[in-house]
Amino acid sequence: MRGLRGRAWLALLAMVVLFAAGCGGRDDNENEGSPGVTDDEIKLGGSYPFSGPASAYKNIAAGAKAYFSFVNDSGGVDGRKIRFITLDDAYEPARAVQNARRLVEEEKVFALFNTLGTPNNLAIWDYLNEQKVPQLFVATGASDWGEDVDAHPYTIGWQPDYVTEAQTYADYLKREKPRAKVAALYQNDAFGEDLLGGFEEAIEGSGIEVVAKESYEVTDPTITSQIRQLASSGADTFLNITTPKFSALAIATIAKSDWRPLHILNNVGASKTLVLTPVGLDNAKGIVSTNYFKDPEDPQWKDDPALLEYRAAMEKYAPRANPNDTFHIFGWASAQTMVEALKGMEEPTREALMESVRSLSLEQPILLPGVEVGTGEGDGYPIEAMQMIEFNGDYWELKGDVVEAKR
């Protein structure tokens, strides 16, 4: 019996070796030019949390898709139609890795565009840069994307990074409240640390002081005790570094207490539809934040051509979507940058695309006047300006001037 089994194993091993020798590695038939581009099509890929706890962000994909459809129906990019293939990662890095492999190896996309989330993009950036596949305009404000362009030449961010945002708040306080005592609530992850760290750095040497800080985990059910701690610190300014669900919780908790600080809410949580409406608009009056694109509910843009175009297209291509949801505009506007980058290619290759991406100078009318999309050699931060906004009980009102990031 033992001998028989031994022989069986040997036979199996022999078969494997023969098989491996016969098949060998896979042939790598590299076609001419880059994959994902034909004469009439450009394939792009993206990974989003369509399911799971972060699925609110899927509207970004819907906004981007609406813009691509709009461009396709008006002739595409140099006659090429854009096909945007999106996969679900449920906000899990492991699934983002597999999605990236699937998009590159199976779907053979030309480039990845706008994949969502800091951990998910960090999980795939080594792989994409090894494969020399562009990872463009990622939907995260982490400062990683522009910090070391040499190490990851195929990766670029899009929105103002969290450090830029933190500087904007610091500037605002220096002007309006130079002796502010700040209590900060922050999400205990890369996003929270980026923004809080940026803020602390920006207020160094000023009269502003962080007197208390409390963190929370994304899995926490409430943040009541953190808010109570912060309120008892005697701070007169509240820096609210949270994602939408917790932004809403923080606003509601403060409304019920007798703490009335100047409330600075980070851009991520400043969605009227997702955050302010559910907790009651009255409770949100006076909150300040930042923005860099036009708010569709601000009456001064009622007849703005960029927003009219956006609304009409959303009605046509995403009729069930709420155009006032800022995630839709975010997706729409970053898709605009993507299309402009494609138009700027001298030839349809990934290298030419990266060259175009690294030499952008765009005025996108959906962005606030004075906010531009600009890159250069080694510049991984396309948008580097923001403007303060204040909620007036009805919509976010623009305040002051556009603030450029200092690097």
Partner 1 sequence: MSRERKLRLGGYGLLLLAAIAIPFLFGPYRVGQFTLVLAFAVAVLGLNLLVGYGGQISLGHGAFFALGAYTSAILIEKADFPHLATVPAAGAVCFAAGLLLGLPAVRIRGLYLALLTLGVAMAFPQLIKRFDSLTEGTQGLNVSRPETPSWVPLADDQFLYLLTLLLTVPMFVLATNMVRGRIGRALVAMRESELAAKAMGVDLARLKSGAFAISALYAGVGGALYVFSIGFVAPESFTLTISFAFLAAIVVGGLATIGGAVFGALFIEFVPVYASDVSEALAGVIYGAVLIAFMYGARGGVMGLMHRLGRRIAATPAGRKSVATPAAGAHHEAVGRS
Comparison of 104 and 385: residue with beta carbon closer to partner 1? 104
26 binds partner 1 (CB under 8 A): yes
Convert residues 39-58 into a mask of x (bound to partner 1 by CB under 8 A) and - (unbound): -----------xxx-----x
Picking from 304, 324, 334, the residue whose alpha carbon sits closest to that of residue 160 is 334
Asked if 189 touches partner 1 (CB under 8 A), the answer is: yes
Query: Is 87 within 8 Å of 47 (Cβ atoms)?
Result: yes
Within 76-95, the residues that bind partner 1 by CB under 8 A are 86-88, 90-95
Task: Confirm or reject binding of residue 220 to partner 1 (CB under 8 A).
Answer: no
Q: How far apart are CB 102 and partner 1 at their closest, in Å? A: 5
Report in angstroms how near the CB of residue 189 gets to partner 1 at its nearest. Answer: 4
Q: Which is nearer to partner 1, 12 or 308 (CB)?
A: 12
Q: How far is the CB of 93 from partner 1 (least distance, A)?
A: 5
Residue 3 CA to residue 300 CA, distance in Å, equals: 87
Within positions 144 to 183, which residues make up the interface with partner 1, using CB under 8 A?
144
Find the shortest distance in angstroms from Cβ 107 to partner 1: 9
Residue 224: C-alpha distances to residues 53, 211, 252, 257 (Å): 21, 18, 10, 10
Long-range contacts of 360-365 (CB under 8 A, 24+ apart): 362/337, 364/306, 364/333, 364/336, 364/337, 364/340, 365/304, 365/305, 365/306
Minimum distance, C-beta of residue 105 to partner 1, in the bound complex (Å): 4
> Is the Cβ of residue 189 or residue 379 nearer to partner 1 in the bound state?
189
Instruction: Give the helix/strand (H/E) hosting 66.
Output: helix 58-73
CA-based radius of gyration for the chain: 24
At its nearest, how many Å lie between partner 1 and the CB of residue 73? 23
Q: Which is nearer to partner 1, 193 or 404 (CB)?
A: 193
Stretch that binds partner 1, among 33-41, 68-76, 99-107, 316-324 (CB under 8 A): 99-107
How many residues make contact with partner 1 (CB under 8 A)?
Answer: 45
11-19, 74-82, 270-278, 323-331 -> range binding partner 1 (CB under 8 A): 11-19
CA dihedral of 281, 282, 284, 285, whole degrees rounded to 10? 120
Element (H, E) at 282: helix 281-284
User: What does the DSSP 8-state code read for residue 324?
Assistant: T
* Cα(171)–Cα(401) distance, integer angstroms: 11
193 contacts partner 1 (rule: CB under 8 A): yes
Please pick, from the candidates 2, 3, 25, 204, the single residue that binds partner 1 as defined by CB under 8 A. 25
Identify the helix (H) or strand (E) that includes residue 288: strand 288-291
Q: What is the nearest approach in angstroms of partner 1 to the Cβ of residue 120?
A: 8
Pairing of strands 288-291, 385-391: antiparallel
257 scored as a contact of partner 1 (CB under 8 A) = no
Q: Are 287 and 275 in contact (CB under 8 A)?
A: no
Cβ–Cβ under 8 Å, residues 125 and 135: yes
C-beta neighbour count of 21 within 10 angstroms: 8
Q: Is 18 in the site for partner 1 (CB under 8 A)?
A: no
**Does 35 help bind partner 1 (rule: CB under 8 A)?**
no
* Candidate ranges 22-30, 254-262, 358-366, 372-380; the one touching partner 1 (CB under 8 A): 22-30
Q: How many CB atoms lie within 10 A of CB 35?
A: 16
Residue 20 touches partner 1, criterion: CB under 8 A: yes
CB closer to partner 1 out of 15 and 312 = 15
Closest contact distance (angstroms) between CB of 325 and partner 1 is 16
Span interacting with partner 1, options 153-161, 187-195, 332-340, 358-366, rule CB under 8 A: 187-195
- Pick between residue 126 and residue 347 the one whose CB is nearest to partner 1: 126
Residue 183 region, left (φ>0) first, then alpha (ψ -120 to 50), else beta?
A: beta
Binding to partner 1 by residue 119, rule CB under 8 A?
Answer: yes
- How far apart CA 201 and CA 12 sit, in angstroms, is 63
The set of residues, in sequence order, having a beta carbon less than 8 Å from that of 169 and lying 6+ positions away, is 199, 202, 239, 264, 290
Q: Does 245 bind partner 1 (CB under 8 A)?
A: no
- What is the distance between the alpha carbons of residues 387 and 291, in angstroms, rounded to a whole number? 6
Point out which residues bind partner 1 (CB under 8 A): 8, 12, 15-16, 19-21, 23-26, 28, 50-52, 58, 86-88, 90-95, 97-98, 101-102, 105-106, 119, 122-127, 144, 188-190, 193, 217, 219
